[in-house]
Structure formats: structure tokens, C-alpha cells
Amino acid sequence: MMTTTPTNRAMREVAERNAPDIPPRSTALECVTLRSFAEIESIREVWSRLHQHPHADLDFFRLVAETTEDAIRPHVFVVRSGEAIRAILVGRVEMRRIDVRSGYLHMPAPRIRTLTMIHGGLLGNPSAKECELLADGVMTSLKKKEYYSVYFNHLDHDSPLYHAIRSRTPRMMLDLCSVVEEHWYLTLTETFDEFLKMRVSKHYRSGIRQKRNRIHKVAVGQVEVDLTTRPEEVDQTATDIEVIAAKGYLRALGAGFKDSLNERQRLKHKAERGKLLIVTLRVGGTVWAYTIGTASKGVLYMDHTGYDPQYKTYSPGNYLLMHLIEKLCDDKVFEVKAIDFGTGDAQYKEAICDRKREDISFWIFPETPAGVALNTYRTILNLANVSAKKLLGKEVQGRVKKKWRDLMRSDKSAEKASLPGGVPSKGETERDATAETD
């Protein structure tokens, strides 16, 4: 054991007198802001443990930030008590166009320096007090003009963080036309047979069998379902999927899957880490439908789905979805226990999902004349949309949406299409149960 000699004691006293005046870290709660990946690396271990959503995976978050043209830097809030990290709120500062729409149409709006809080970016299970500190951090940086607007992407509408943000935002700065959507989940069963018995109605089960039989009847021996999980498979699969995605109405909206170097890089990044699952339905060698998902900690997150509209009457999206669920239940692919279908209305989600919540996406505008004017502009258009929807009614809205989506699809040759073996397509007379969702 080392003893403290007079010489050692004197040297220690001198060192203590000359040491800088650094107060010990308080064990009280505090919120700090990290503005570079060098700073973020210091909390990698905790980040990796707390994150759930694949968008909040640290390596993927960094990849997106470094390959997105408009991204400027990360902006991450951390609530800690001494050395213990209690919660993390993940965002990035980027140049972003304010979302102003009239129905499906994008209206003119400026691009401004925005703090975008990513989907799934709240890490941990923070208390109300910890969420208040995170909200204070967001508002403080806004007041310091580190960014000029804030966009929250799919935040749990009933979360303490949303209530904390709302209570701290002056009414003139708060988004008056925020979007609330239902977020759907499916808890998987041990077997596919159990899923059919426990999760879906007798009528829906009958429809599943009919749709399967219909495709196999017209294309005997030519129906294949491929799984893409390896990096070297991504390029060809992305090329095949793009043919279908280019025809979908989501492309006209600037959403959905779009083949690009950045997109392929992200898909390969996931595949290299054993998280990518792309499922494609091929009939006679032609891709009819696809699903792209990312596995993370026991959950499969559905990123993109789509189908070729000229084969819509055969419900290829529904066929592929049921095949995927069967694989997940019976073959234990990725050891997935649940599927996150994301937000948006779709018949199939209501039919098979066993859980849902409400998500809200909203903006916070600067407390300036320009910010107030922009918020007012969005509000006027939103009120016009709401009034029109009330006049039309839900049933008429559905018909209008369908007609509008059909108009935005680039493919106009549905009636001329043919199936393997010369069987003609029946056009688009039946609604596919699997809607295209981003």
C-alpha cells in the first residue's frame, strides 16, 4: 500500500492549488446539446442500448446525415444526471422546404434552416420532467437562431414529450395544421395458422385463399417469392423494383421508394448489418409487387410497399404480405416478434393489426413576422381543406382519392397487359388490400 509522505503531501497540495476551478458534475438533471459526430461518439454505447427504431441507429443516422445534400450537422439533446444518461432526442439541422399543401398538391413555400427531429428519435423512456428539459433545449436553440424552424416527424401524440413541447411553445409559433395519423402494429403469433385464426376474420381468411388461388390458377408454376438480404443482391433488386415504383402515385407526390445511389447505399448498409429484408413477388419472371423492411431489435419496420397497378385485380400486394407474415411466423426470419406498419389508412392494416396509436407530425415556427405569416398561410390552406372534406363526406373523399391516385399513376396500359400464358389482365376493377405506403 502506498503511504503519503510529507513530500507527496506537499506536491499534492501544490497541484490542488494550481488546478483549474472545475466544479464537480452535478447529479441534478441537466440537458446538454451535441453538435458533432465526434461528441456523439462519446455516448455510442448508451445510444446503441436505448435506440429501437432503425432510423435512430447511430451508424445509419450518420450515413443519412453525411449523404443528404441539404443536411448541415447533427443536433442531439441529452438529458443526464451526473454520468448517467436518461434520455436522448435525435435531430439534424438541414435546409428543408416548409410543407404547405392543398390536398395532394404542394404549394409554393420557402426552404429554411430547420431542426428535423427524426422518426423514432426519442431514445429511452423519459419522465415528464426529463421531457420538459428536452423541450427547453429545443426552444432555447431556436431562440438562439441555431435554426429557424423545427419539424417533429411522427411523435407519439400522447407522449410526455409532445405535451412538454406544446406547453412551451407560444401559440403564434405552434403549427396550427399539424397532422395526426394512426400508427399500426401487428404482434406475430407462433405459427401462420394461429395468425389466421386469431388476427383475421373468417371473411378475410376466405379472401386470402381466393387471392392466392387466383394468381396460381392463371400462372401455374410461374409464381415465385424472392427474399433479398445480402448486399450483393441489392443492385439488381433495386433496378427491378424501380420499374414498379415509377408507376405508383407516391412517385408523383415525391414519396415512396426511388432508386438512387444514396438509396442503394442505405439498403446495402442495412444488409451488411443483417437488417434488410426485401420481398418481391415475381410472376413469369416479372415483378408484380415488393415490400422493403428493416429489422431492429425484434421488430420489422415496413419502409416501402408497392405493386404494379396493371395487375391490381389479382391483389399482388396482399398475396406478398401474407407470404411475408407466413415466413416471419413459421420460419422465424430475423426472429421478428412484431411488424410496425407505420402510419396511414389502409384496409389491410385495420383487418390484421392488433395495436395502434396516434402519431403527430408538426412544425414550430420562429417568433418573427415571417414565421407568423408562414404559419397563417399554412393555416388558411388547411382550413380550406378541412371545409372541403366536411362537405364531401368520408365516402366521397375515398372515391376522389382513388381517382386522383389513378390519374397520378404513369401506367395507362392496364387493359392491354397480359399475364403469363396469355391470360389477359382484368384492369383495375378491384381495390388491392395492400396500399402503397411510404
In the CATH scheme, what is the homologous superfamily, with its name and number, of domain 27-169? Gcn5-related N-acetyltransferase (GNAT) (3.40.630.30)
Query: Cα separation of 35 and 249, whole Å?
Result: 38
pLDDT recorded at residue 271: 98
Reference 30, options 126, 109, 111, 130; nearest CA is 130
Which pLDDT score, from 0 to 100, does residue 419 have? 54
Residue 41: per-residue pLDDT: 98
C-beta of residue 328 within 8 angstroms of C-beta of residue 195: no
Cα(284)–Cα(218) distance, rounded to whole angstroms?
Answer: 11
Return the pLDDT at 91.
98
* Closest by CA position to 111, among listed 67, 76, 165, 72: 72
Element (H, E) at 121: strand 111-123
Residue 26, pLDDT score: 52
Cβ–Cβ contacts within 10 Å for residue 9, how many?
A: 10
Q: Where are the beta strands (DSSP E) in 11-110?
A: 29-34, 71-81, 84-97, 101-102, 105-106
The Cα–Cα gap between 229 and 268 comes to 9
Q: For position 76, what pLDDT does the model report?
A: 98
Answer positive or negative: Cα dihedral of 269, 271, 277, 279.
positive
Question: What residues contact residue 1 under an 8 Å CB cut-off, 6+ apart?
Answer: none
Q: How far apart are CA 129 and CA 176, in angstroms?
A: 25
User: CA–CA separation, 424 vs 218, rounded Å?
Assistant: 9
Superfamily (CATH H level) for 185-356+407-422: Gcn5-related N-acetyltransferase (GNAT) (3.40.630.30)
The C-alpha cell that represents 133 in the structure block? 428539459
27-169 and 185-356+407-422 agree in CATH topology: yes
Please tell me the distance from the alpha carbon of residue 23 to that of residue 41, in angstroms, as a whole number: 24
Please say whether the beta carbons of 123 and 51 come within 8 A.
yes
- Could you tell me the three cell numbers for 216? 396460381
Strand locations in 111-197 (E)? 111-123, 149-156, 179-187
| Domains of the chain, residue spans | 27-169, 185-356+407-422
Phi, psi of 2 (to 5 degrees): -80, 135
Q: What is the pTM of this model?
A: 0.83
Q: Which amino acid is at 362?
A: F
Distance CA 33, CA 77 (A): 5
Among candidate residues 240, 298, 297, 246, the one with its CA nearest the CA of residue 267: 240
Q: Is 190 exposed, middle or buried (0-12, 13-18, 19+ CB in 10 A)?
A: exposed
Residue 13 confidence (pLDDT): 46
Which residues of the chain have a pLDDT value below 70?
Answer: 1-27, 101-105, 385-438
Residue 78 grid coordinates: 441529452
